[in-house]
Amino acid sequence: IGTLAIKHITLLLSVKELRHFHHSRAVLKIRPTAPVEFIEDKEKNKKPIVQDDLFERVAKKNKTKATFNRVVDVFTKQDVRRRGHVEFIYAALKKMPEFGVERDVTVYNKLLDVFPKEVFIPRNFIQTMFNHYPRQQECGVQLLEQMENYGVMPNVETKVLLLQIFGPKGHPMRKYQRLMYWFPKFKHVNPYPVPLQLPEDPVDLAKFSLNRIADDLDAKITVYQMPCTDLNESGQEITFPHIVGIQSPSQIDLLAKHNPKRPVFVEGPFPLWLKKICVYYYILRADPIPPEEKVEEPYDPERCFDYPLQLDLDLDRDLGDEENFDVEDLDEGPVFAMCMTNHGDQATLNQWISGLQETNPILGHIPTLFRLDSGTRELQVSVDFKPGPNQEHQESKPETEERTAEEVEEQPQIRHSMKQ
C-alpha cells in the first residue's frame, strides 16, 4: 500500500508539474518586476487573474495615464506567452475612457504591443486567404475601430506594430490603411469648424458662438454685463449673469428704419450645439414688413466709386440662363440683434435691450415684447401667430403694451443698480 501511495503521490506531482508547464502557473508567481500594489492581492486570490480585476484594483487609487501604462506593463511582464492577451486588450479598451487615455495614440500603440509578435503572421497563401487567427485579428480590428471612434489618427509606430503582429495582409493592416486614406480626406471638411478645446469662460464661449451664428465679419460684440457677485444693502448675495450681445452695422441700419408703431420681439432661447456643448441664444426681431409698407431705397451711385454696385444692362437673357430656384422666398422678418446670457429671464433681457439703446436710440420708442419660451425650442415665425392656451406671455395686445410700458419705467432703476 505504501509503495502505491508513493506512486500515486509522484503521479499527482507529475500531473501538477505538467499542468504548471502547460498553464504556466509557475510564471504567475510573484516576480520582483511587479510593483508592490499588485503583489499582495495576487497572494490573496490564487485563481487566475481576471483582467478586469487588474484594472479595477488600480482604479480604486487613481486613474491616470501612468497607472494605465503600469497595468499594461505588469501584464506584459507577467507571462512570456502573454496568455489571455485578447481578453486583456478588450478589457483595456473598455477601461480607456475611465482613465482618460482614449485619445492617446501612444497608449493604443502600447496596447497593440501586448500582442505577441510574428506568431499570427500567415506563412503561406492559403493561410492568407482564410482568416488566420480570427480572434486575434478581430481584437486588433476592434482596437483600431475604437481609435476611429475617438478620431485618433494612427501613426507609423502603429503600422510597424501591425506589420510585426499580423503581417502586411491581415485585416487590421487593411483597417489601418483605410483609416489612413479616409481620415485626412475629411479632416477639414467642416466649413464651420469648432476648436477641439472650447473656451471655459462663459463670456468667451458666448463671444465665440455669437460670432459663429452672426455670419458677419462687421458685426460687433458688446459685453453688456460681466458675471459678478455683489452684496446688496441687506447683506444678501446677488449674482449678475453675463450678457453678451452682437449687432452688425447693417442690423443697426435696419432697426433705425423700423416703423416705431410695430413692436419688436425678444425671442428665445434657441439652442446652438458646439460639439457636445449646447448653448442658448436670444434674438431681437420683428415681424416681416407688410408689402404696402415696403419702401424701395433709391440707389445711391456715390456709395462706391471703385466699381458700380448695380448694372442695368439690357442683355438678352435666354431661357437657359435662369439661375434662381423657383421657390417663393421665405420672409420671416428681420433679425436686429442676438445675445447670450446664462439667465434668460425678462429682467436680464431687459438689461440687454437697455444696453442696445445706446447704439439704437429708436428702441426707446418701439414697444418690446418678450416671447420667452421654455417648452418648445424652435424658431418662431409669426405670420399668422395665434395665441396658445398655455403660454402666458401671449396676452391680448393692450395688456402687453402696458407691461412693456412698465418695463421701460423699470429700466433706469436696473441701470442704477448696475452702476452701484
- Which residues from 202-221 bind another protein, rule CB under 8 A? 209, 212-215
Binding residue for another protein (CB under 8 A) from 65, 70, 159, 169?
Answer: 169
Close Cβ partners of 407 (under 8 Å, ≥ 6 residues apart):
346, 350, 368
CB of 33 to another protein, least distance (A): 28
Q: Which three cell numbers mark 295?
A: 419702401
Instruction: Tally helices (H) and strands (E) across the chain.
Output: 14, 8
186 or 307: CB nearest another protein? 186
Binding residue for another protein (CB under 8 A) from 54, 107, 206, 338?
Answer: 338
Binding residue for another protein (CB under 8 A) from 49, 72, 93, 339?
Answer: 93
Binding residue for another protein (CB under 8 A) from 107, 121, 139, 286?
Answer: 139
CB of 18 to another protein, least distance (A): 30
Close Cβ partners of 378 (under 8 Å, ≥ 6 residues apart):
270
Q: Does 24 bind another protein (CB under 8 A)?
A: no
Phi, psi of 238 (to 5 degrees): -115, 135
CB 91 within 8 A of CB 139: no
Residue whose cell numbers read 469648424: 193
Q: Which residues pair with 265 in a beta bridge?
A: 285, 369
Binding residue for another protein (CB under 8 A) from 15, 160, 278, 304?
Answer: 278
Close Cβ partners of 151 (under 8 Å, ≥ 6 residues apart):
103
- Virtual CA dihedral for 202, 206, 212, 214, nearest 10 degrees? 180
Binding residue for another protein (CB under 8 A) from 3, 62, 190, 413?
Answer: 190
Q: Does 321 bind another protein (CB under 8 A)?
A: yes
Binding residue for another protein (CB under 8 A) from 57, 70, 174, 403?
Answer: 174
Closest CA to 348 of 280, 269, 414: 414
Q: Does 380 bind another protein (CB under 8 A)?
A: yes
CB of 305 to another protein, least distance (A): 29
Number of residues near another protein (by CB under 8 A): 84
Integer Cα distance of 101 and 116 in angstroms: 23
87 or 410: CB nearest another protein? 87
CB of 171 to another protein, least distance (A): 5
Binding residues among 279-298 for another protein as defined by CB under 8 A: 281, 283, 285
335-341 and 243-247 strand pairing: antiparallel
